Amino acid sequence: MSLHLGDLAPDFTADTTRGPIRFHEWLGDSWGILFSHPADFTPVCTTELGAVARLGPEFAARGVKVIGLSVDPVESHLRWEADVAATQGNPIDFPMIADVDRRVSELYDMIHPGASDVATVRTVFVIGPDKRVRLSLSYPMSTGRNFDEILRAVDSLRLTESWPVATPADWRPGEDVIIGLGIDAIEAASLFPGHRVVTPYLRYTECPAVAPAAR
């Protein structure tokens, strides 16, 4: 199975470090991030878990639930969490899936044919409240993931879910955004008074507000 943007994220049941879950039920109406690891006690992933734990309040403020995955059992995950807290300075406050049988990894196409059956499991999925895949990124084992960038992408996704706009290259929250091509000049003047026209297809406006995440 190959997942594409806009596809329904597969539902599943799994054991985690916070008890058993059914994925769609656990997500509820929230945005979600599912990110995977090849195995416990791997060095790059240890730093990544610490980075996600550090950003926990930022994800929570945006109504984003985070869940990790590794192919080792829960008992191993819990020992790894202790190492992460000791070495990275941030205790893990999100669940970790024990994907011992690789079932979830296969559902999400995180094991690539012709490669090791675990080494390529290093993917990030951002899933919308409608349970559809909004973003996916895959990394090699040697390159640590940039979760500040993933947080920035979540900000863009939440904004463009609420308004008919797009975000330009290197955009940061609060900076000007681009008016969507589906908005004609009359509607643009009504929705975004004072917007700036560079070309007929490139129109900038101040960043509109996004409703706070439900708590």
- Domains of the chain from N-terminus onward: 13-145 (3.40.30.10), 163-205 (3.30.1020.10)
| pTM of the predicted structure, to 2 decimals | 0.92
Tokens at 103, concatenated: 């079932």
Secondary element (H or E) of residue 132: none
- Over 60: is that where the pLDDT of 115 sits? no
* pLDDT grade for 122, boundaries at 50, 70 and 90: confident
pLDDT surpasses 70 at 59: yes
Phi-psi region of 63 (alpha: psi -120 to 50; beta: other; left: phi over 0): left
pLDDT digits (tens, 9 = 90+) for 126-167: 999 999 999 999 888 889 999 999 999 999 999 999 999 999
Dihedral of alpha carbons 160, 164, 165, 166, sign: positive
Token pair recorded at residue 119: 């080494």
Question: Which residue would you say has higher pLDDT here, 2 or 147?
Answer: 147
In the chain, which ranges are continuous DSSP H helix?
Answer: 23-27, 43-54, 56-61, 74-88, 103-107, 147-162, 185-191
pLDDT of residue 121: 73
So what's the pLDDT on residue 215? 45
In angstroms, the CA 126 to CA 146 distance is: 14
**pLDDT tens, 171-185?**
999 999 999 999 999
Where in the sequence numbering do the catalytic residues fall? 45, 130
For residue 97, what are its two tokens?
């899936």
